[in-house]
């Protein structure tokens, strides 16, 4: 007498009369036979996938081992092309040599020249920053890798006090309690650094900030210092409150040897090895001091006491490309 399992052996009478017939009917009714090649292909993929996973040569597995900074580096070679002066308040810089080509290309474009002419007529504080493309260097071959798309940001800041243009720095005492309106225009100039062409010029909406001038107080607002050029007497303490919702800082060069009416460059970019965030000056300090406030968080403020005459050109390094910079002239005590 056959055992129970013998009934399920293909070819047995029970299989042929019952199970085989049922399977045959299912295959016919559902047309599964036509799907058998697909099942075979899927099964093949599963087998190949299992082999690849076990061998560790899947692209995803190789990507986990990829260390981009092992093969490339990002050179840091910021180029200051023009420092601002009290006579010509224009600051031009590029993040690298390739980006600097974008400035040369932009300045040859008729649209950009018109923008610069208008800002000059307005006696605005102008910042021209070449911020793209980022350059990477292949560590093995030394080849420079970069996109051909460059970006130059042009920012113009100008201010009005009680309806009159404010282009020459005045003492806080002269404009205290008067209404000051600070305006800012920003243009994004896209260039092809390989073809040498300006591809697009886009202007942002104007920014306007209004406030009443308070003695010895410079607001750090939405990418603007208000007022952005001012004069104080020596032995004064100036405070920078952050009235925006973004962090800012005050970083620059205090040149004690520069006369208040100096026309030459007083410097703007400090040496990181010679910075201080102290609120008082050391009597033995050099004639040129680098000052760095550190981050000033929203709602907080930072202050610095200027005991000697000179010129302090400074910027917010976080928003330098959008023209957030200022000038403080310290006049000799009377």
Average per-residue pLDDT for the chain: 78
Query: Distance between CA 80 and CA 313 in Å, rounded?
Result: 14
One-character DSSP codes across 46-115: HHHHHHHHHHT-SHHHHHHT--HHHHEE-----EEEE--BSSS-EEEEESSHHHHHHHHHHHTSHHHHHH
Binned at pLDDT 50, 70 and 90, residue 13 comes out as: low
pLDDT reported for residue 12: 57
**How much is the average pLDDT of 54-60?**
61
pLDDT reported for residue 147: 86
Residue 155 has pLDDT above 90, yes or no: yes
Task: Name the H helices within the chain.
Answer: 13-14, 20-30, 36-55, 59-64, 68-71, 97-107, 110-121, 172-175
From 155, 209, 156, select the one nearest 180 (Cα to Cα): 209
Q: Which residue has the tokens 């208000």?
A: 226
Q: Are strands 275-276 and 288-292 parallel, antiparallel or unpaired?
A: parallel
| CB contact set of 157 (below 8 Å; sequence gap of 6+) | 124, 125, 126, 127, 182, 183, 184, 224, 228, 323
pLDDT above 90: percentage of residues in the chain? 34
Q: Which domains are delineated in the chain? A: 4-66 (no CATH), 71-331 (2.60.40.420)
Q: How many CB atoms lie within 10 A of CB 169?
A: 21
> Which of the two residues, 47 and 183, has the higher pLDDT score?
183
Q: Are strands 229-233 and 325-331 parallel, antiparallel or unpaired?
A: parallel
279-329 pLDDT, tens digit per residue, is 334 434 567 888 999 999 999 999 999 998 999 989 898 888 888 899 999
Pair of tokens at residue 16: 């042929």
Q: Which residue has the tokens 């896209």?
A: 190
Low-confidence winner among 165-169, 172-176, 246-250, 325-329 (lowest mean pLDDT): 165-169
From 30, 4, 322, select the one nearest 22 (Cα to Cα): 30
**How much is the average pLDDT of 208-236?**
91
Binned at pLDDT 50, 70 and 90, residue 43 comes out as: confident
Residue 202 has pLDDT above 60, yes or no: yes
- Three-state helix/strand/coil letters over 132-147: ECCCEEECCCCCEECC
**How much is the average pLDDT of 195-219?**
92
Rounded to 5 degrees, φ, ψ at 57 are -110, 15
> Which of the two residues, 271 and 202, has the higher pLDDT score?
202
One-character DSSP codes across 36-51: HHHHHHHHHHHHHHHH
Pair of tokens at residue 241: 């409150």
Query: Distance between CA 27 and CA 271 in Å, rounded?
Result: 81
285-296 pLDDT, tens digit per residue, is 567 888 999 999
Binned at pLDDT 50, 70 and 90, residue 123 comes out as: confident
Query: Distance between CA 186 and CA 30 in Å, rounded?
Result: 68
**How much is the average pLDDT of 17-46?**
61
Low-confidence winner among 4-8, 177-181, 239-243, 245-249 (lowest mean pLDDT): 4-8
Cis before residue 319, ω within 30 degrees of 0?
no
């Amino acid at each position: 007498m056959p055992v129970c399992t013998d009934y399920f052996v293909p070819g047995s009478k029970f299989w042929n009369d019952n199970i085989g017939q049922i399977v045959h009917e299912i295959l016919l009714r559902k047309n599964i036979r036509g799907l058998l090649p697909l099942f075979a292909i899927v099964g093949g993929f599963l087998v190949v996938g299992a082999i690849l996973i076990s061998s560790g040569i899947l692209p995803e597995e190789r990507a986990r081992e990829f260390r981009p900074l092992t093969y490339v580096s990002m050179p840091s070679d910021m180029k200051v092309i023009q420092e601002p002066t009290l006579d010509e308040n224009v600051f031009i810089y590029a993040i690298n040599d390739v980006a600097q080509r974008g400035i040369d290309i932009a300045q040859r474009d008729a649209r950009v020249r018109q923008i610069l002419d208008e800002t000059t007529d307005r006696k605005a504080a102008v910042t021209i920053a070449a911020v793209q493309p980022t350059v990477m260097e292949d560590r093995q071959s030394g080849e420079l890798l970069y996109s051909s798309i460059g970006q130059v940001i042009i920012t113009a800041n100008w201010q009005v006090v009680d309806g009159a243009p404010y282009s020459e720095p005045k003492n806080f005492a002269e404009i205290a309690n008067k209404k000051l309106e600070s305006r800012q225009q920003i243009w994004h100039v896209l260039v092809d650094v390989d073809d040498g062409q300006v591809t697009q010029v886009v202007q942002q909406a104007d920014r306007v900030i209004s406030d009443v001038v308070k003695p010895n107080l410079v607001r750090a607002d939405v990418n603007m210092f208000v007022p952005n050029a001012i004069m104080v007497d020596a032995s004064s303490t100036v405070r920078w409150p952050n009235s925006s919702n973004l962090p800012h800082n005050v970083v620059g060069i205090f040149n004690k040897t520069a006369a208040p009416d100096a026309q030459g460059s007083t410097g703007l970019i400090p040496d990181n090895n010679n910075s201080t965030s102290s609120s008082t000056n050391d009597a033995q300090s050099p004639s040129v001091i680098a000052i760095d406030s550190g981050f000033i968080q929203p709602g907080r403020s930072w202050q610095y006491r200027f005991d000697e005459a000179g010129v302090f050109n400074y910027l917010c390094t976080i928003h330098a490309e959008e023209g957030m910079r200022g000038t403080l002239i310290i006049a000799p005590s009377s």
